[in-house]
Structure 1
């Protein structure tokens, strides 16, 4: 049979071991002392000495598990000897043996050694009983029954413990595998969220800038012969937009700081001025001087840029209105146009979804109201959260 950890080490229920120790003292050590307390011959003192030896060995085993006397084999050898001696002195020791049987399984290094100690203790007790001038047949029978029962019960408990250990190892392996899979899932989720964030940032910054560059370049090429001054202005806008795109690209890869600090109104004013310069549309703006943190400012700025890009590409509008104010629940941004409008339910694309997700990450929401021929209204609301 293969080597296994000592049952004492594997049997972790300390409270149960303490209760058994108490029961062993009360029902194993005390009865022999009581049986000889009124005798005055050598039997009394021999029994007391044997019980004291067993108690002392057990105490050392418990207190000094790594000491010479505290080694399990030393303690079990002492216990076997005491069982044999008390069987001789007390005309049998079946009860003491039966109470002591768990000791062999708790302290032996292997099941095989536990069985060996049980057999030796049974033989010693039986020999002690037979060596007495008046042996007790009943005590001998109980000794044999107790030894056999101790072996069977010990093997059963040992098997249960082995099965429990096997299940624990399986569950531990499953737990480690699940933890690994969970860590990988978190890693994949983090990568997916990062890709989504980059895609949103690219769409709201670089893609819009490139679309503006393309539109301005086409206009400059078409008007270079008829209106050179306007083409020069458009080329300057292309250069400025390209520089801004380069700055945004550096921000995305982490090689440059984010957008400059300031109020959201100042940032929106620059965006609107560029929009008017590039498109020639009429823009009415009411921008309250609201201070906010960087995430809120960027979210509102990106919503404005996306909305204006949609107006430029799809609305065919002549007038755009932008209102920024502090409402009852937080910061509110409203962008309306008098263009051709659309059906929000049928709208497809990354822009609106990107705006909704960006605001949702900050606890805000986006409302889009429009219908064909009726223009469009984009309303963004963000909770204050002590941002000002």
Structure 2
């Protein structure tokens, strides 16, 4: 066994010691009264009282000034061993003192080895003192040894049991503490992850709504400024588009501020994803002058699917506007047995997909992945770009289940 020096063991011994202190003082007093009243006055009685007084004094100092937890308990136990040997030699109440102080070997020994060492020394000192007083008769030796061995055996069993209980309690307390610490770390990690996910969601929503709107406003404003001298009518039309886009951005911003929920895509009603996409494509064609070839099936989708399809369309069109230098854009929305497919193609300059570092494509992938979908991007320099978004439908999910 090892020393029980953990906080739980210390608390156990401190509590036990406080409870036993009051009992010990009463028993010490009773022993002193017994020595005075039962033993005849004389040098032996006074010497026995002196030895008992040394034990009481050492115990009082230890109780009042705990001091060093290793040195002072050993000093007290050493005094106790010597006092027991002296009382046995004087014929005093050594048996009563042995019984009274039996728990002290385990309280102050701190380890089972040290406790049993001092307990063995006390038994040896008591036996030696008694034999020195009575002589080495076989009858007395047998009686004394039997009584001392019984006391020592009982003390050893009780002490080892107490140490075993404390060791098990300490282990349980350690495991509980580790579990609580792990739970706290997991909770903190979940909070950090939740905050990071929320920041990412907000950033994605801002990118897909406000940022795209501001980019459209900038492009329209530049076109309107360039067309003012030559085509006032077109400039006026572009200014109206700027105003409309700004109002939509303002509505999106208010919805982002007012609600922690994912913002709605501006008028997407149940089952109207095709109409919403068509309005977006018409606005894009009107603002850019590009040819948009749309084949949109009238699908009935849930709200999250409609939002994801709209955001993918907006992001793809924004990339076409900013980078593709295309003349024609094709958009196909179709129901498949496994879900919904949205395909967006252009005849622009294309790009190397592996070298793409923008936030838009990554945001589309994550948005689709949250719904169990996937995004496939096919492009090469000079050959245009193909965006394929696939989302499982509710009917398909039920069929798989």
Q: CA deviation at 1:328?
A: 2.4
2:358 to 349, 371, 384: 349
Give, in whole Å, the separation in 2 of the partners of 1:376 and 1:279: 18
Query: Does residue 1:2 correspond to 2:2, yes or no?
Result: no
Judging changes above 3 Å, is the alpha-carbon distance between structure 1 residues 301 and 197 closer, same or farther for their aligned structure 2 residues? same
Query: Does residue 1:365 correspond to 2:371, yes or no?
Result: no
Regions of 4+ moved over 4 Å: 135-143
Judge conservation of contact 1:111–1:158 (CA < 8 Å) in 2.
no
Question: 1:59-78 to 2 correspondence within 5 Å?
Answer: none
1:149 to 110, 128, 153: 153
Which residue of structure 1 lines up, in the alignment, with residue 335 of structure 2?
326
Judge conservation of contact 2:338–2:396 (CA < 8 Å) in 1.
no
Judge conservation of contact 1:291–1:387 (CA < 8 Å) in 2.
no
Give, in whole Å, the separation in 1 of the partners of 2:292 and 2:277: 12
Give, in whole Å, the separation in 1 of the partners of 2:204 and 2:146: 84
Q: CA deviation at 1:170?
A: 3.1
Deviations 1:148-205 (A, max 9, x none): 1120122122123223333333333332222222111111100000000011111111
Which residue of structure 2 lines up, in the alignment, with residue 201 of structure 1?
205
Give, in whole Å, the separation in 1 of the partners of 2:202 and 2:351: 28
RMSD: 3.1
Give, in whole Å, the separation in 2 of the partners of 1:205 and 1:287: 22
Give, in whole Å, the separation in 1 of the partners of 2:189 and 2:345: 42
TM-score, length-scaled by structure 1: 0.64
Judge conservation of contact 1:325–1:331 (CA < 8 Å) in 2.
yes
Query: Does residue 1:338 correspond to 2:347, yes or no?
Result: yes
Query: Does residue 1:239 correspond to 2:240, yes or no?
Result: no
Judge conservation of contact 2:339–2:396 (CA < 8 Å) in 1.
no
* Number of residue pairs the alignment of both structures matches: 271
Give, in whole Å, the separation in 2 of the partners of 1:229 and 1:359: 41
Give, in whole Å, the separation in 2 of the partners of 1:175 and 1:379: 46
Give, in whole Å, the separation in 2 of the partners of 1:335 and 1:226: 34
Deviations 1:27-86 (A, max 9, x none): xxxxxxxxxxxxxxxxxxxxxxxxxxxxxxxxxxxxxxxxxxxxxxxxxxxxxxxxxxxx
Query: Does residue 1:272 correspond to 2:281, yes or no?
Result: yes
Give, in whole Å, the separation in 2 of the partners of 1:278 and 1:248: 20
Query: Does residue 1:180 correspond to 2:184, yes or no?
Result: yes
Judge conservation of contact 1:292–1:387 (CA < 8 Å) in 2.
no
Q: CA deviation at 1:141?
A: 5.3
Question: 1:5-44 to 2 correspondence within 5 Å?
Answer: none
Judging changes above 3 Å, is the alpha-carbon distance between structure 1 residues 239 and 387 closer, same or farther for their aligned structure 2 residues? farther
Give, in whole Å, the separation in 2 of the partners of 1:316 and 1:2: 82
Which residue of structure 1 lines up, in the alignment, with residue 25 of structure 2?
none
Query: Does residue 1:192 correspond to 2:192, yes or no?
Result: no
Give, in whole Å, the separation in 1 of the partners of 2:305 and 2:147: 85
Q: Mind listing any 5+ residue stretches in structure 2 that lack a counterpart?
A: 1-12, 18-101, 109-114, 116-138
Give, in whole Å, the separation in 2 of the partners of 1:286 and 1:136: 114
Which residue of structure 1 lines up, in the alignment, with residue 384 of structure 2?
375
Q: CA deviation at 1:315?
A: 0.6
Question: 1:215-254 to 2 correspondence within 5 Å?
Answer: 215-254=219-258
Give, in whole Å, the separation in 1 of the partners of 2:364 and 2:213: 17
Judge conservation of contact 2:264–2:307 (CA < 8 Å) in 1.
no
Which residue of structure 1 lines up, in the alignment, with residue 36 of structure 2?
none
